[in-house]
Amino acid sequence: MSPSRLLSFFAWPVMIGLVAALILLLTVPELRPQSWQLPARAAPQSDNAFANLSYAHAVDQAASSVVNIYSRKVIETRRHPLADHPLYEKLFRNSGQQERVKSALGSGVIVSPEGYLLTNNHVIEGADEILVLLHDGRRAGATFIGNDPGSDLAVLKIELDNLTPINIGNPNQARVGDVVLAIGNPFGVGQTVTQGIISALSRYGLGISSYENYIQTDAAINPGNSGGALIDTHGNLLGINAAIIFDTVGIGFAVPADDAMKSLKDIIKYGRVVRGWLGLDAERLTPAAITALGLKNVSGLRVTNVFLNNPAHIAGIRPNDVITHINNQPIGNERQGLKEVADLAPGTVVSVRVLRPHTNGSLPEELEIDVTVGERPDNLEVNRT
């Protein structure tokens, strides 16, 4: 038999055997070599990818610490001056001293197992009665402990057992673009969660309060959310939701959690918030300002205003001085620099390194100036240089 006929003779049985073997391998996984096995949990990995898009765990961590707050204020209306006149007695017969009840609603955050709550001052300001509704359905009357009008914060206390304080996060590690969740009681509909990102950090100069250092977010914040929690994707508190810009969408502001906790501790200890203060206004040094001041490769804060007869003015700091270091620590932004001073006790002496530009084109002068920290006043309507 020729080789070609021999090859043709064996070709069909071989092909039939290969097809049969392939069918067996596909239908009986146990016969496959180990290297042919599909990766275990291939399908569940796809499910996990979708699970990672959920923030349910973060909400579970924080929701029981966020409360609804209802406040009532009794307002007495004035008696009409003609109510006792004989000609108008019948007309004003029912116009005696009357009471009108003004109600407000908002949110709050439990921050200690002892029952201390943080909320916004405008939620409970002047209230005669404050009621707190917990996530688990319990109710309690709240005691007003104190407030900080400068940052629109207030501290309340409730007397209940088995409270769940929220985990406090670190706003200093937050970045623009981080996902955040807002939890509160918008329009009184009940606890609601909205999602967004951090839009900006260290917002100030908005005219909302006298001490501004806000986290800006596009998470939906509505009336009733005030005093609620802004949390990260792990359920940690980043801020206390405080304000929105009306007639806009996606512009809300929260007081950073570390600022809020300092206010709470000061209010409990001193009855007020004590903030260190240099007595100046400053802004981040922009590239345009660097060029205008004749500087090169400098980062820091440009002093825009100095308050007369206050620490910076007494020490000799001037407008347009550039603060580069405080206590030998480089200063890169307003939050980092002036917040460090705010955390210092009044009377503390700090070393402030400044660059003083010269208008004649010569190199800026570097100075080390010791400044005795003062206490930031609640009202900043004082003279500037």
Residues with a catalytic annotation lie at 122, 152, 226
Tokens representing residue 92 in the block: 């004003």
User: Would you say how long the chain is, in residues?
Assistant: 385
Q: Which residues of 51-80 are buried (b: 16+ CB within 10 A; e: fewer)?
A: eeeebeebbebbbbbbbbbbbebeeeeeee
**Bridge partners of residue 179, in order along the sequence:** 197
Within 13 Å of residue 59, how many CA atoms lie on the same side as its CB? 13
Contact between residue 373 and residue 278 where contact means Cβ atoms under 8 Å apart:
yes
Q: Which residues of 349-384 are buried (b: 16+ CB within 10 A; e: fewer)?
A: ebebbbbbbeeeeeebeeeebebebbebeeeeeeee
